[in-house]
Amino acid sequence: MNRRSFLQAVALGAATTTLATATDQPKKIRCGILGIDHAHGVDVLKVLQRSPDFDLVGVCEPDDAVRSQLENNPALKDVRWLSRDELLSDTSIKMAAVESGVPRLLELARNAVDAGKHIHLDKPAGASLPAFRALMEEAERKQLLVQMGYMFRYNPGFDFIRRAVRENWLGEIYSINASMCTDLDAVKRARIGAFSGGIMFELGCHVIDMIVLLLGAPEKVTSFIRHDGATNDLLADNTLAVFEYPRAIAFIESAAMEFQPFPTRRFKIAGSNGSIVLTPLEPPAGHLALRNGAGGYNTGTHPIVFEELPRHAADFSDFAACMRGDHSFAYAKAHDLSVQEVVLKASGMPLT
């Protein structure tokens, strides 16, 4: 599938995804959570608890130390705790959301796929590209879906950008720049510091996913992975990656010590006929500028207002629809593998 066809498929999937209602609602899909200490773990738990599509059977945290740290979290007070065998051997559980810390993601995901379960796999997909490729190939062999937990895939601001690129509103794209920063405390810095790619690997991956979706894999990646913060630790906390394409450049900055970073997270895409800027990214606010009118918008500048959707809700609604066979899954294995390779290169990490 070429990039334009892929973008069309993704846009179609996003356009046809709706949150289920009680009217004629199909039977809920039984699911479980495998690992719970990912940064998105508790958010995913809450979405699945409220989901009209999924029946959350319970949570498995195989690491006793992690469980002891988290089981008193108010969000987890009413969950049913499962052993790994209880979750994996229960054939009525069709999907596992793998929400462990990044070092265990691929191991636990492979456990779930080997047990015949569709998986929602949080990001980034571990540090071993060969292990991730083997996981994806086994899932494909078993006709199981793997949904990556990149949080902008169902974001209405990025849906708008995908439509603009698909319909050629912006002309020839020559530039993308993205800022994806945060402000981490010492505990979170220590966790992320386990990987040499640091904050680019942990957080920059979200916008890398979108750039690869829009432009494909770059011809060349140059990364700057630095520790510049005042905290005396191992975290690469000030990072930049530059992607080179035949007629375009993209760059991503990601730092771990920016004061009040969420309002200034930013994604700008520019072409020969105009540009779109999203800032902030959640909830998204947009600005469209057109040299010549396109897409029903006149020449000039336009503020764009988007619907505010809860993070992850549309992801799991679409995932359930794909599991039921209502439509095809928009994100192909080839895209996820390409994204992981580019994430590792951007983070200055090995591909082996």
Letter string b/e over residues 26-48, b meaning 16 or more CB atoms within 10 A of that residue's CB: eeebebbbbbbbbbbbbbbbbbb
List domains and CATH numbers for the chain.
3-148 (3.40.50.720), 156-308 (3.30.360.10)
pLDDT digit string, tens, across residues 38-86: 999 999 999 999 999 999 999 999 999 999 998 889 999 889 999 999 9
- Check pLDDT > 90 for residue 10: no
Going by their DSSP bridges, the two strands 95-98 and 173-179 should be labelled as: unpaired
pLDDT digit string, tens, across residues 289-318: 999 999 999 999 999 999 888 899 999 999
Cβ-based neighbours of 168, under 8 Å, separated by 6 or more: 294
What tokens were used for 337?
């593998």
- Contact between 44 and 33 under an 8 Å Cβ cutoff? The reply is yes
**Pairwise CA distance, residues 56 & 34, whole Å:** 11
The closest of 122, 138, 102, 132 to 45, measured between CA atoms, is: 122
Q: Cis bond leading into 280, ω under 30°?
A: yes
Task: Tell me the whole-structure pTM to 2 decimals.
Answer: 0.91
- In one-letter notation, the amino acid at residue 76 is L
Least-confidence region, from 20-29, 105-114, 338-347: 20-29
What DSSP letter does each residue of 69-93 carry, written as one string?
A: HHTTSGGGTTPPB--HHHHHH-TT-
- Tell me what pLDDT residue 24 has: 64
Q: In terms of DSSP H, where are the helices of the chain?
A: 3-16, 41-50, 64-70, 84-89, 105-114, 129-141, 156-166, 186-192, 198-199, 205-215, 313-324, 333-346
Reduced to 3 states (helix: H, G, I; strand: E, B; else coil), residue 255 is: strand
The closest of 140, 46, 158, 160 to 97, measured between CA atoms, is: 46
Going by their DSSP bridges, the two strands 274-281 and 266-271 should be labelled as: antiparallel
- Contact between 149 and 122 under an 8 Å Cβ cutoff? The reply is yes
pLDDT digit string, tens, across residues 163-205: 999 999 999 999 999 999 999 999 999 999 999 999 999 999 9
Cβ-based neighbours of 323, under 8 Å, separated by 6 or more: 29, 94, 95, 118, 145
pLDDT digit string, tens, across residues 145-161: 999 999 999 999 999 99
What tokens were used for 336?
């996820």
Of the chain, the end-to-end C-alpha distance in Å amounts to 26
- Tell me what pLDDT residue 22 has: 44
Q: How many beta carbons lie within 10 A of that of residue 183, not counting itself?
A: 13
- Contact between 209 and 153 under an 8 Å Cβ cutoff? The reply is yes
Q: Cis bond leading into 218, ω under 30°?
A: no
C-alpha 115: how far from chain center? 24
- pLDDT category at 6 given cuts 50, 70, 90 is very low
